[in-house]
Amino acid sequence: MTYDCENERIRYPNHVLVNLYARLGLHHFNLSQGSNLEFHHLKKFNMTMNYISSYRITLVGYDPATTLLINFQVGVSEQAYGRLNLMVFVARPQADRPPSNEVVRPLGVTNDPFKPDACDDNGFPFWPTDFNDTKRFHLLKESELQGNDCIRLYLELALCANDRNIPDSHVSQLQIVRVAMETFEDVDVINANFYITLKGLPVARVGEDGEHVERKVIIRS
């Protein structure tokens, strides 16, 4: 089913989630091309109507240096229901032809080829008892968080994967308390685990309600 997001009379489902998927596609493109495009607005999207869906999104991005508006295509496929496990299969300007070697990047996957003994039965790492091992973990400073929009993007995606009907007002109130990054290097492949502590979520599907409650999220990029 196709939704025209520029028609104000049309309401489309999963408003917060679709916007995040569009931003994820731009983030993927920026990482691969070394660019700095930013999200402007959605034009349209279509999705498969299943428990796990695929989204093909047309959006408008822009280059902050030139303010030039660019029509952009993003394709995101959900790999699991109720948790963050996504695959970006398209991320390019609409005018470009699909490259033959376009890289498909996972986010929040449940496999852990690096440390299988440090994971639960679902393949996710356990929350560390501390982050004192500076060779393994890097605690991000406030200045690093302010210059790293992808951390906030990953966090919002994780929350929407758990509750895709979460209102934008709840997402906007989130506060990141601390972030520890754990990186792995294997030849030309670099992965990272992000251990994020947050607060500001007034209502939660799991655990105590209240904006004062600190919650924990683990994300693999």
pLDDT digit string, tens, across residues 137-195: 999 998 888 878 889 999 999 888 888 888 888 888 899 999 999 876 653 345 788 99
Residue 62 to residue 39: CA distance in whole angstroms: 7
The closest of 148, 128, 130, 132 to 140, measured between CA atoms, is 148
Euclidean distance between CA atoms 215 and 221, whole angstroms:
20
* 115 — pLDDT class (breaks 50, 70, 90): very low
Q: Could you give the residue range(s) of every CATH 3.10.450 domain in the chain?
A: 2-106
- pLDDT (tens digit per residue) in 206-221: 667 778 888 888 888 7
> Which residues have a Cβ under 8 Å from the Cβ of 70 and sit 6 or more positions away?
37, 60, 61, 62, 63, 93, 94
Lowest mean pLDDT across 93-102, 109-118, 149-158: 109-118
Q: Is domain 2-106 classified as CATH 3.10.450?
A: yes
Q: Estimate to the nearest angstrom the gap between the alpha carbon of 104 and the chain centroid.
A: 15
Half-sphere exposure of 103 (CA within 13 A, CB side): 10
**Cα separation of 53 and 76, whole Å?**
9
Q: Cα–Cα distance between 57 and 46 in angstroms, integer?
A: 7
Model confidence over 27-86: pLDDT tens digits? 999 988 999 999 999 999 999 988 889 999 999 999 999 889 999 999 999 988 878 889
Q: What is the dihedral of CA 199, 204, 210, 216, to 10 degrees?
A: -30
Give the C-alpha separation, 90 to 88, whole Å.
Answer: 6
